[in-house]
Structure 1
Amino acid sequence: MTSIRTDTTTVLDPAAADGPRPRALSARVSGADVGFRVLARSAGTATLGIMLAVGLFLGLRASDALKVAGPSFLTTQEWSPETQTFGVAAVLFGTVSIAVVAMCVSIPLSIGTALLLSEVVRGRIRSTLISLVDLMAAVPSIVFGLWGLFFLQAAVIPVARWISTYFGWIPVFAVTDTQGVAYTDDGAFTSSAFIAGIVVGLMVVPIQTSIMREAFSRAPAGEREGAFALGGTRWGMIRTVVLPFGRGGIIGGTMLGLGRAMGETIAVYMIISPIFAINWQVLKSGTNSVSALIALRYGEASQFGLSALMAAGLVLFLLTLLINFTASMIVARSRSGAGTEG
């Protein structure tokens, strides 16, 4: 047999010798894409415009009061626009103290409820509980206020008394008069920032729970199964996978609830006993908030008093914006899942 070998020489294009070239793609923008872009940009611009308009409105209406008060508006505790002696130091401190108590109550409850709904219960029970938690967000503020005033307050007084008795050496938990003598009657523990904070904390739990639950539910299934495959327990999987992945949701839900707590009006107004002095003792009767101040004095305010109330609202508006912007930066830097890499 004769083998015939044929050599074939292939001439390659020098331009193609360096490797394949990427294929040129031309994207055609459809009418739906154009409409979506216009709608999204319009919505974002409108939202920003409304926020700027609100801030501008408050600034213009508050200008008369701010010109009279000056920088002392942030340090004065008294509120008497008639005598031109007024400031938001006391009400701003009360707003922050109520919000801090609310966060101490709502954060553990929200995280625990979100983990229960996303990691523990299943099936019809899970969907029922999710619906109940979501429905709690629709309960009006006045209902929470009535519940806190006529039921919760009487139930919390023994708890507040116990905290004051055993932790009264911490100044914030003491309930004393101006001479440092501890109060013993129940009236000293009513209408306090502690009770108002508990009510507001329960009000923001559904909002925080919904955000955290969504973040926890999006934890990668592969990392969950990997944690179990390595011998981890359910809590070990939650601690090493779910919680790090949902860090952004925890922060975002917390900050959203904080903004909601600082702006709550009706429930706080119904529970507190308004005073215009900084009260460091959160268990003691008497506190105030910016929103409750506006609700209390708006109906009887003069033209200048209304300008002073607008100035207080402007301070609350700027504080809420600061909290939201801070939350956005923290969430952006703590991307969900970043803690689970490596």
Structure 2
Amino acid sequence: MSQAVIGADAPPAPTGRKTAGRLGDSIFEWLCRGAGILVLLILGAIILTLFIGGLPAFQAFGFQFLWSTAWNPVEGRENYGAFISIFGTVVSSVLAIIFAVPVAFGIAFFLTELAPEWLKRPIGTAIELLAAVPSIIFGMWGLFVLVPFVQQHIQLSFGETLGELPLIGFLFASNSFTGTSLFAAALVLAIMILPFIAATMRDVFSQVPPVFKESAYGLGATRWEVVRNVVLPYTRISVVGGIMLGLGRALGETMAVTFVIGNANRLATSLFDPSTTIASVVAMEFPESLMGSLKQSSLLALGFLLFVISFLVLAASRYLLRSRLKA
């Protein structure tokens, strides 16, 4: 009873404080909303700029620009196509994901399930430091170290052992011995995106409630069975998100790929053929293009197509996640 009386007799909160609190909340709300809208406006402005800049190329070549393999900058006979660079971008990025995801999963599995406590922090720090290395350093290292290694120890071995296989042997044929190739570019990209995927997997694996894993262990499950049947289903959305983050980095990478892919405007028929990507073409040839020229318009059109490819990849991953959640 005394508590009720005291509560009833307590003075009301000052009106000025309430008003100031509401004003602060409103300002904070509009600032957050403005930040979100600003991101959309910047993204829309970039896409619109690329589309308007590439419009003359789309008008000159039509839909043929998408599947044409031509790239002839000679004045008076200019003819440009995007298929080779699109092909190189997609293939190198997909190969990088194929190389990086199993290694990233192994690192995350080791750090969360197998590594002793004294070893977890040094390895985790090393992974985070690897993500901070500039891309041009990866490119220089790839050119002087990785490319000769691929040329001497991987390309020749694969060509001799797998080049004669029916149907798929052409993928491992040694048509060029420069060492710069789609395979080398994919390896460099895999090393670059590895820390992003591994760090994401490690963080989400460690967030799984211990009671879930302890229950599986209590039923006699092995470590691998716990990860496969408990950890991965619980974290699949975040794992796919980390993989998509790495894929997005691979699709847009420029300098590291430019060093090791060979920058050859020809359609690669083997993993060890030199090729090119959208980002490397733009980086190599944009400084030489004249303002308002058809070549510059074609390069801007390539940039717009890279945005479209990234959007399609993100949309596909969202669709797959939603379909799995509904299932």
Task: Tell me the TM-score normalized by structure 1.
Answer: 0.82
- SS of the residue corresponding to residue 299 of structure 1 reads helix
Q: Which residue number corresponds to residue 222 of structure 2?
A: 233
Amino acid at match of 1:291: A
- SS of the residue corresponding to residue 188 of structure 1 reads coil
How far is 1:198 from its partner? 0.2
- SS of the residue corresponding to residue 53 of structure 1 reads helix
1:290 paired residue among 242, 262, 278: 278
**Does the Cα contact within 8 Å between 1:272 and 1:288 map onto a contact in 2?**
yes
Give the number of aligned pairs.
300
Amino acid at match of 1:310: L
How far is 1:172 from its partner? 4.7
**Separation (CA, whole Å) in 1 of partners of 2:264 and 2:301:** 19
Which sits farther off after the overlay, 309-318 or 207-216? 207-216
Q: Which residue number corresponds to residue 322 of structure 1?
A: 312
Bigger helix share: 2
Question: Are positions 1:55 and 2:43 aligned together?
Answer: no
Amino acid at match of 1:164: G
- SS of the residue corresponding to residue 277 of structure 1 reads coil
The aligned runs of 1:295-306 (5 Å cut-off) are 295-302=283-290, 303-304=292-293, 305-306=295-296
Unmatched tracts of structure 1, length 5 or more: 1-27, 178-186
**Separation (CA, whole Å) in 2 of partners of 1:113 and 1:34:** 45
**Separation (CA, whole Å) in 2 of partners of 1:161 and 1:246:** 40
CA-based RMSD of the aligned residues comes to 2.1
Question: Are positions 1:214 and 2:203 aligned together?
Answer: yes
The aligned runs of 1:1-342 (5 Å cut-off) are 33-81=25-73, 82=75, 83-157=77-151, 158-168=153-163, 169=165, 170-175=168-173, 188=177, 190-284=179-273, 286-302=274-290, 303-304=292-293, 305-334=295-324
Residues 253-281 of structure 1: CA deviation (Å, up to 9, x unaligned): 11111111111110111112222221121
Amino acid at match of 1:206: P
**Does the Cα contact within 8 Å between 1:204 and 1:261 map onto a contact in 2?**
yes
How far is 1:74 from its partner? 0.4
Which sits farther off after the overlay, 131-140 or 296-305? 296-305
How far is 1:251 from its partner? 1.2
How far is 1:35 from its partner? 4.5
Which sits farther off after the overlay, 120-129 or 301-310? 120-129
Task: Tell me the TM-score normalized by structure 2.
Answer: 0.85
- SS of the residue corresponding to residue 298 of structure 1 reads helix
How far is 1:104 from its partner? 1.4
Taking only the aligned residue pairs, the percentage that are identical comes to: 32
Q: Which residue number corresponds to residue 5 of structure 1?
A: none
**Does the Cα contact within 8 Å between 2:174 and 2:272 map onto a contact in 1?**
no
**Separation (CA, whole Å) in 1 of partners of 2:244 and 2:218:** 35
